Structure 1
Amino acid sequence: MCHRPFGGLLSSTDHTPRLLRVALPTPLRRLFDYRPCREVPACGWRPGLRVKVPFGRRQLIGVVVECPERSDVPDAQLKSVLACLDDAPLPDDWWWLCRFTARYYQHPLGDTIAQALPVALRQGRPLQARHQERWIARDGDTGPLERAPRQAELLAMLRQHPRGLMTRAITAQGFTRAQLEGLQAKHLVECHEERLTATEEESGSRLAEPSLPLTREQAGVLAEIHEGLERYHPCLLHGVTGSGKTEVYLQLIEAVLARGRQALVLVPEIGLTPQTLTRFRQRFRVPVVALHSGLTDLERLDAWDAARTGRAPIVIGTRSAVFTPLAAAGVIVIDEEHDGSFKQQEGLRYHARDLAIARAHRENIPIVLGSATPALETLAQARSGRYRHLRLTQRANRHAPARLELTDLRGRHRQGGLIALAIEAIRQTLNAGNQVLVFINRRGFAPTLACHACGWLAECPHCDARMTLHRQPQELVCHHCDFHRPLPDACPECDSGDLRPLGSGTERTEETLAALFPETPVHRIDRDSTRRKQAFEDILREIRRGEPSLLVGTQMLAKGHHLPHVTLVVVVNADAGLYASDFRALEHSAQLLVQVAGRAGRAEHPGRVLVQTLHPEDSNLRLLADSGYEALAGQLLEERRLAGLPPYRHLALARFEAAREEHVTEFATAAAEALREWLDAQDTSVTCLGPVPAPMERRQNRYHMQLMLSDTRRSALHRACAWLVQWLDNHPDSRRVRASLDVDPQTLS
Structure 2
Amino acid sequence: MPDRHARSARPSQTGENGVLPGLLEAPNRVAVLLPLPLDHPYDYKVPPGLDVRPGDIVLVPLGKRELTAVVWDPAEREPENSTSDVEADIVEDRLRPILRLCAAPPMTPLLRRFVEWVADYTMAPQGAVLRMALSVPDALQAPKPSLAVRLPASREKNGEAADADIKWTAARRRVFEEAKDGVARSPADLALAGGVGASVVRGMIKIGLLEQVEVASPRRFETPDLDLPSPEFFGDQADAVQRLRASVQDGAFSVSLLDGVTGSGKTEVYLEAVAECLAAGRQALVLLPEIALSGQWLERFRRRFGVAPAQWHSDLTPAQRRDTWRSVAEGEARVVVGARSALFLPYGELGLIVVDEEHESAFKQEDVVCYHARDMAVVRARLGSFPIVLASATPSLETLTNVKSGRYGCLKLHKRHGGAELPSIELLDLRKDKPTRIEGLGQSWLAPSLRAAIAETLAQGQQAMLFLNRRGYAPLTLCRTCGHRLRCPHCTAWLVEHRGRSFSVEGEGPAGDLQCHHCGYRARRPECCLECGDSDSFAACGPGVERIAEEAAALFPDACRAVMASDTLTGPNAAAKMIQAVQDGEINLLIGTQVVAKGHHFPDLTLVGVVDADLGLFGGDLRASERSYQLLHQVAGRAGRAGRPGRVVLQTSDPDHPVMQALRSGDRDSFFEMESQMRQRSYLPPFGRLAALIISSPVEADADGFCRNLAKRAPGQEGIEILGPAPAPMALLRGRHRRRFLLKTRRDLSPQAVIREWTAGIRLPSRLRLQIDIDPYSFF
Contact 1:2 1:32 in 2 (8 A): no
What one-letter code is carried by the residue in structure 1 that aligns with 2:475?
P
**Which string of whole-angstrom CA distances, capped at 9 and with x for unpartnered residues, describes residues 499-558 of structure 1?**
321111111111221222222221111122112662222211211112451111111111
What one-letter code is carried by the residue in structure 2 that aligns with 1:23?
L
Question: Could you tell me how far apart the structure 1 residues matched to 2:276 and 2:390 are?
Answer: 18
Which residue of the partner structure matches residue 153 of structure 2?
Answer: none
Give the drift of 1:704: 0.7
Which residue of the partner structure matches residue 646 of structure 2?
Answer: 607
Q: Which runs of 5+ in 2 are unaligned?
A: 1-12, 17-21, 76-81, 149-184, 197-211, 438-442, 503-511
What one-letter code is carried by the residue in structure 2 that aligns with 1:413?
T
Q: 1:241 to 1:369 in 2, by over 3 A?
A: same
Is 1:243 equivalent to 2:264 in the alignment? Answer: yes
Which residue of the partner structure matches residue 340 of structure 1?
Answer: 361
Which residue of the partner structure matches residue 520 of structure 2?
Answer: 482
Question: Could you tell me how far apart the structure 1 residues matched to 2:369 and 2:118 are?
Answer: 9
Q: 1:716 to 1:92 in 2, by over 3 A?
A: same
Which residue of the partner structure matches residue 671 of structure 2?
Answer: 632
Partner-residue secondary structure (3-state), 1:22: strand
Q: 1:714 to 1:445 in 2, by over 3 A?
A: same
**Which one of 479, 482, 494 corresponds to residue 532 of structure 2?**
494
Contact 1:49 1:86 in 2 (8 A): no
Which residue of the partner structure matches residue 712 of structure 1?
Answer: 746
Is 1:90 equivalent to 2:90 in the alignment? Answer: no
Which residue of the partner structure matches residue 402 of structure 1?
Answer: 423
**Which string of whole-angstrom CA distances, capped at 9 and with x for unpartnered residues, describes residues 693-715 of structure 1?**
11111222321111122323466
Is 1:747 equivalent to 2:770 in the alignment? Answer: no
Contact 1:12 1:47 in 2 (8 A): no
Question: Could you tell me how far apart the structure 2 residues matched to 1:225 and 1:477 are?
Answer: 46
Which residue of the partner structure matches residue 313 of structure 1?
Answer: 334
Which residue of the partner structure matches residue 141 of structure 2?
Answer: 125
**Which one of 551, 554, 579 corresponds to residue 515 of structure 1?**
554
Which residue of the partner structure matches residue 62 of structure 1?
Answer: 69
Matches within 5 A, 1:201-600: 206-208=226-228, 210-229=229-248, 230=250, 231-285=252-306, 288-410=309-431, 411-413=434-436, 416-471=444-499, 472-473=501-502, 475-496=513-534, 497-531=536-570, 534-547=573-586, 549-600=588-639
Which residue of the partner structure matches residue 34 of structure 1?
Answer: 44
**Which string of whole-angstrom CA distances, capped at 9 and with x for unpartnered residues, describes residues 127-147 of structure 1?**
x667799xxxxxxxxxxxxxx
Give the drift of 1:57: 2.5
Q: Which runs of 5+ in 1 are unaligned?
A: 5-9, 134-166, 168-176
Contact 2:295 2:572 in 1 (8 A): no
| Percent identity for Structure 1 against Structure 2 | 36
Give the drift of 1:257: 2.2
Contact 2:298 2:308 in 1 (8 A): no
Which residue of the partner structure matches residue 141 of structure 1?
Answer: none
The count of aligned residue pairs is 684
Q: 1:371 to 1:63 in 2, by over 3 A?
A: same
Bigger CA drift: 460-469 or 437-446?
460-469
What one-letter code is carried by the residue in structure 2 that aligns with 1:583?
L
Give the drift of 1:376: 0.8
Contact 1:268 1:339 in 2 (8 A): yes
Contact 2:57 2:104 in 1 (8 A): no
Partner-residue secondary structure (3-state), 1:74: helix
**Which one of 3, 6, 16 corresponds to residue 15 of structure 2?**
3
Question: Could you tell me how far apart the structure 1 residues matched to 2:104 and 2:658 are?
Answer: 63
Bigger CA drift: 434-443 or 281-290?
281-290
**Which one of 96, 99, 112 corresponds to residue 79 of structure 1?**
96
Question: Could you tell me how far apart the structure 1 residues matched to 2:741 and 2:127 are?
Answer: 26
Question: Could you tell me how far apart the structure 1 residues matched to 2:361 and 2:659 are?
Answer: 21
What one-letter code is carried by the residue in structure 1 that aligns with 2:69?
G
Which residue of the partner structure matches residue 25 of structure 1?
Answer: 35
In the superposition, the TM-score normalised over structure 2's length comes to: 0.81
Matches within 5 A, 1:180-219: 206-208=226-228, 210-219=229-238
Which residue of the partner structure matches residue 163 of structure 1?
Answer: none
Q: 1:192 to 1:590 in 2, by over 3 A?
A: farther
Give the drift of 1:233: 1.9
What one-letter code is carried by the residue in structure 1 that aligns with 2:32?
V
Q: 1:219 to 1:181 in 2, by over 3 A?
A: farther
Question: Could you tell me how far apart the structure 2 residues matched to 1:12 and 1:94 are?
Answer: 23
Give the drift of 1:342: 0.9
Partner-residue secondary structure (3-state), 1:400: coil
Bigger CA drift: 107-116 or 60-69?
60-69
Contact 1:198 1:309 in 2 (8 A): no
What one-letter code is carried by the residue in structure 2 that aligns with 1:524?
V
Give the drift of 1:179: 10
Give the drift of 1:736: 1.5
Give the drift of 1:354: 0.9
**Which string of whole-angstrom CA distances, capped at 9 and with x for unpartnered residues, describes residues 62-101 of structure 1?**
1111357969883333222222214752223322221211
Contact 2:398 2:686 in 1 (8 A): yes
Give the drift of 1:120: 2.8
What one-letter code is carried by the residue in structure 2 that aligns with 1:57?
K
Q: 1:548 to 1:292 in 2, by over 3 A?
A: closer
Which residue of the partner structure matches residue 8 of structure 2?
Answer: none
Q: 1:227 to 1:206 in 2, by over 3 A?
A: closer
Question: Could you tell me how far apart the structure 2 residues matched to 1:366 and 1:510 are?
Answer: 45
Q: 1:723 to 1:601 in 2, by over 3 A?
A: same
Give the drift of 1:686: 3.7
Contact 2:435 2:446 in 1 (8 A): no
Which residue of the partner structure matches residue 674 of structure 1?
Answer: 713
Question: Could you tell me how far apart the structure 1 residues matched to 2:245 and 2:584 are?
Answer: 37
Give the drift of 1:407: 0.8
Question: Could you tell me how far apart the structure 2 residues matched to 1:581 and 1:202 are?
Answer: 48
Give the drift of 1:200: 10
Partner-residue secondary structure (3-state), 1:33: strand
Contact 1:686 1:716 in 2 (8 A): no
Give the drift of 1:643: 0.4
- Which has more radius of gyration? 2
Matches within 5 A, 1:649-664: 649-664=688-703
Contact 1:102 1:108 in 2 (8 A): yes
Q: What RMSD over aligned residues (CA atoms) do the two structures have, in Å? A: 3.2
Which residue of the partner structure matches residue 128 of structure 2?
Answer: 111
**Which string of whole-angstrom CA distances, capped at 9 and with x for unpartnered residues, describes residues 104-149 of structure 1?**
1111111211112232358x523x667799xxxxxxxxxxxxxxxx
Contact 2:55 2:70 in 1 (8 A): yes
Question: Could you tell me how far apart the structure 2 residues matched to 1:739 and 1:501 are?
Answer: 37
**Which string of whole-angstrom CA distances, capped at 9 and with x for unpartnered residues, describes residues 441-482 of structure 1?**
111111111233333322223222211112233522221222
**Which one of 55, 58, 65 corresponds to residue 51 of structure 1?**
58
Bigger CA drift: 345-354 or 468-477?
468-477
Q: 1:129 to 1:102 in 2, by over 3 A?
A: farther
Give the drift of 1:364: 1.8
Question: Could you tell me how far apart the structure 1 residues matched to 2:649 and 2:265 are?
Answer: 24
Q: 1:28 to 1:214 in 2, by over 3 A?
A: same
Partner-residue secondary structure (3-state), 1:330: strand
